[in-house]
Amino acid sequence: MNGGPVGRIVGVGRALGSRVVTNKDLESVLDTTDDWISTRTGILERRFVGQDETCATLAIEAARNAIEHAGIDGDSIDLVVCGTSTAPESMPSVACLVGESVGAVGVGAMDLAAACSGFSYAASVATAMIQSGQAGRVLLIGADAMSTIVDQSDRSTAVLFGDGAGAVVLDAGDGESGFVDHILGADGRGAPLGRAGQPGDPNKLYQNGREVFKFAVRILPEMFEKLLSRNDLTPDDVQYVIPHQANARIIRSAAKKMDIPEERIVINLDRFGNTSAASIPLSFPDIYDGMERGRYVVTVGFGFGLTWAANLYRI
């Protein structure tokens, strides 16, 4: 990005599926154990949508919470952008439903699908719209209800995913705080490593866990180092790293390569599982009050596609 920081975060919110599903719960229906799941993934429990809940209802709740936290009215929002791959229907978009529900009627609203990289992709679009002058305040959301597309009898994937939504309100800002830089990438040659929602088998998610692991451990520190290098920063300038919450072993391996102490790595997968595009914004409520002006937050994510993305945010 050119110029100063764009898109200051002034409000954060999140929402989770109402059903708490522990590893012990999964022991009773799958050939697995609490110890195996927690050791291999770091996940202790996850949240699934309940009756009458969808990705859209979670996005609406998270958006309302962010708006309330920001102390603004919904009709002051100029644009709604939602990163998601699990909209309950093809049309209308989740973003349209959110806009109507929070009072942002008549403004632009769009969904963006980049799998687990969806929020970081959407953040790039949101800040570009602010930078161009087309929006002064953006409601930015990452939301997914992964339980709706996972085969719950497949132990290789059913233990991994959860449902949630995270939202932030972005203002044009003061020129001192906001997003500074973004990395977006994709490579369709990696499509065989992970697929979901295939015609004729919509409730089957497949991933090649071993190859995705190797890709993630490589791409996360690559993006981190690239962001710091081209912005003349060091790891000491970074207060928090928010990685996509896919697997604790991936996060630990990447953290070592990034030379970032574990206490500065934000983790929520132990409570929420892999919530896809929601995993990064779900982290902001945990760190918002402790963020120190002048320091940085780096988000790094990857997803089916293959996609990858990272954001550099100046507090």
Catalytic residue flag (residue 274): yes
Catalytic residue flag (residue 82): no
- Which one of the listed residues 23, 247, 268, 274 is annotated catalytic? 274
- Which one of the listed residues 55, 244, 247, 268 is annotated catalytic? 244
Integer Cα distance of 248 and 254 in angstroms: 10
Catalytic residue flag (residue 244): yes
- Which one of the listed residues 116, 182, 247, 268 is annotated catalytic? 116
Q: Which residues are the active-site residues?
A: 116, 244, 274
